Amino acid sequence: MGTGSGDIKKVDDFRYVGVSTAKMYPENRVEEGSFEFDITGIFLETSKFDISRMISDPTYSEKEIAGNWKFQFDLHATDNVEQSVGLSSAGNDVTVSVNKVAYTPMSFILFYQEFITQELYAKWDFISVGVVVKDDLGHTYATGGSSGGGLILRLSHTETFEKLNPKAKKLIVTPRVVLSQRDGTYENGAYYRNESSTAPMETFELDEIIIDIEK
């Protein structure tokens, strides 16, 4: 299981530079691996649009440069330390459990699960559970991306945060929950909520989960 993102920019008529970031979340620790990166084309967006032409020709706004570039990378895992946690916080039909933390030289990764009751799921159209992480020195850590999946009432999350302050002794995890109702339903049955919606919404925080950092 993994997620990723990329960005490619043209630097002159014959050169492009880019960065591709990928996150993998295997069940077991992976120390090394061989990865292939195949590029079959580059799409360029035009800066000016002809609306009438875009309606009749959806590909009008894109120009493709076809190619066949193949790369292979043999990578090794950075040094990292995993700390088992096993602490939870619960309230208002929501439970958040932190399973473990992995520390690397450039970041730390929080592994946690959310559990909601059937009653809460039946009452609200949208249920969003996240966390805010700070340390005992008062610093709030910026997130570098997250991934999640699982069953409707039980989801597993993996979230990466910026480098840990070496002077910190505790991590303070505050679960935040947002409950909201939809404004309508698309033809395919999916719910939607407008950005300026006045439909009911509630937010609340659970009690802090305090983790003693193992060094």
Last residue of a domain, which of 60, 76, 92? Answer: 76
DSSP letter at 28 equals S
Count how many domains the chain has. Answer: 2
153 plus 204 within the same structural domain: yes
pLDDT at 28: 63
116 plus 66 within the same structural domain: no
44 plus 106 within the same structural domain: no
pLDDT at 126: 96
pTM equals 0.72
pLDDT at 44: 62
Structural domain containing residue 130: 81-212
* Degrees, nearest 5: CA angle 195-58-66: 115
Q: In order along the chain (215 residues), what is the average pLDDT of each group of 10 residues? A: 62 76 63 79 57 46 72 79 96 98 94 97 96 97 85 92 96 98 94 95 98 91
pLDDT at 60: 47
Measure the CA–CA gap between 91 and 112, rounded to whole angstroms.
16
205 plus 109 within the same structural domain: yes
What CATH number corresponds to the domain at position 128? 2.60.40.1640
Which residues are CB-neighbours of 140 under 8 A, at least 6 positions away?
A: 132, 133, 134
